[in-house]
Amino acid sequence: MLRDVGILKGMQVSQIVPALLVVVSLATPAPAASQDAGRYRVSVDNAWFYQDVAGRRIARLTRGALVTAGATRNGWIQVTLDGWIFATSVGKSDRPDFDLLVTRTPNENLRAAPAGPLIAELAQGFGLKRATAPDSSGRWVHVSREGWVQRSALAPVADVVATRTADTTTDTSSIKGAPAPPRPGDTTRVDSTRAQPTRMTTLYRAADESGPEAGTIAADTPLRVLSRNGEWTRVQIEGWVKGGDLQAAPAGVQVGVTAAELRAEPQRYVGQALRWNLEFIAIQKADDLRPDIPSGASYVLARGPLPERGFVYVIVPDARLPAFRALNPLTAMTLTVRVRNGRSRYLGNPVVDLISLEGGVTP
């Protein structure tokens, strides 16, 4: 992923967020004036992570990243960064306060899960504590680090989801992640497969507040809960739209499928044809970080499907590369592709084969 982001740096700087630089230092615990334990979400872009209250700035955090709060002091909250990093990017620390140090130059990503959402970028020499053993593949290490963040850069995460009165007439046993229905006479439980927003709320295409929005849902709109993932709840909503407002999919091709759906259920879409609007970044050759692509094969690094911000690998036959070489970086293009892998092994990006390039217009 770092290589992919590096390609973007040399392009239209005004449209690409620059790489985040951090200053390395030792963390010094600070006494707390009060306690305010809970979960918070970074609510601003590029929030600073400090070693101490108003002290040295040692990292920038990604908007939408989740942190665990501890002590508070005036306008500051002590937080714990908890995430995963490539095992090959850290080494044993010679500092008493840390177990590991970042060894990759100039920096490495800290993620919420192996190949998951970005939390922060950590510079070479950044100290970390080992949280648990590496994952089953041995490629990722679970780490943590305490520091301080200004309260104004954080938003508390709500823990309560409103539910409706129990409905025992629907069989929910097939719903993934749904709780068992209430037992007869059990008046303490409600049907958690049904819910409704307590206020106007945003519907996201994926469990990521920094990701693309699908629209808004009015308060009291009936929803069905399909599954839960941490603080996020996947819901289903039914309604009506005018047929003239819909885009018909070509025969055998699906439209409206997101990359987030492929990542969540990577085997479900294998072999299926999709139509995607993507943003052209560059033409690359397969390397060791992309074993899902045949060795030496050419692929197009693209961003999307728009408006999603992730990356997609489009495998392109050599005979069809000239059409892509004629495109300028950041050109919007419409492709029909066939899914090879919904989530690549190391970086978690969809891998697809080109069927057709249907349009590419430089904005």
Taking only the tens place, the pLDDT of each residue in 216-258 is 887 778 887 876 766 778 787 877 777 777 666 667 888 888 8
The identity of residue 262, as a single letter, is L
Report the C-alpha gap between 140 and 348 in whole angstroms.
Answer: 13
Domain endpoint, select from 103, 130, 156? 156
Place of tokens 């409206």: 256
11 pLDDT tier (thresholds 50, 70, 90): low
Pick the residue with more confidence: 148 or 255?
A: 148
Pick the residue with more confidence: 40 or 37?
A: 40
Contact 297, 285 (CB under 8 A): yes
Is the pLDDT confidence value at 25 over 70?
no
Q: N- to C-terminal Cα distance for the chain?
A: 25
Residue 65 is assigned to a structural domain of this protein: yes
Report the C-alpha gap between 78 and 52 in whole angstroms.
Answer: 8
The predicted structure's pLDDT at residue 282: 92
**Mean pLDDT value across residues 174-182:** 47
Place of tokens 């020499």: 125
Pick the residue with more confidence: 187 or 128?
A: 128
Domain endpoint, select from 219, 239, 259? 239
Provide the domain count of the chain: 3
Residue 329 is assigned to a structural domain of this protein: yes
Residue 8 is assigned to a structural domain of this protein: no
Do 150 and 69 belong together in one domain? yes
Residue range 269-323, pLDDT digits in tens: 899 999 999 999 999 998 887 888 998 899 999 999 888 888 999 999 999 999 9
Residue 10 is assigned to a structural domain of this protein: no
Report the C-alpha gap between 24 and 38 in whole angstroms.
Answer: 27
Do 88 and 172 belong together in one domain? no
Residue 208 is assigned to a structural domain of this protein: yes
Residue 7 is assigned to a structural domain of this protein: no
Residue 295 is assigned to a structural domain of this protein: yes
Do 200 and 147 belong together in one domain? no
Residue 196 is assigned to a structural domain of this protein: yes
Do 56 and 118 belong together in one domain? yes
Domain endpoint, select from 110, 138, 156? 156
- Considering the entire predicted model, what is its pTM? 0.43
Contact 32, 42 (CB under 8 A): no
**pLDDT, the chain, mean:** 77
Do 211 and 146 belong together in one domain? no
Q: What are the tokens at 281?
A: 């970044």
Do 215 and 263 belong together in one domain? no
Do 34 and 138 belong together in one domain? yes
Residues in CB range of 143: below 8 A, 6 or more apart? 82, 83, 84, 85, 90, 100, 110, 128, 129, 130, 131
Domain containing residue 288: 247-361
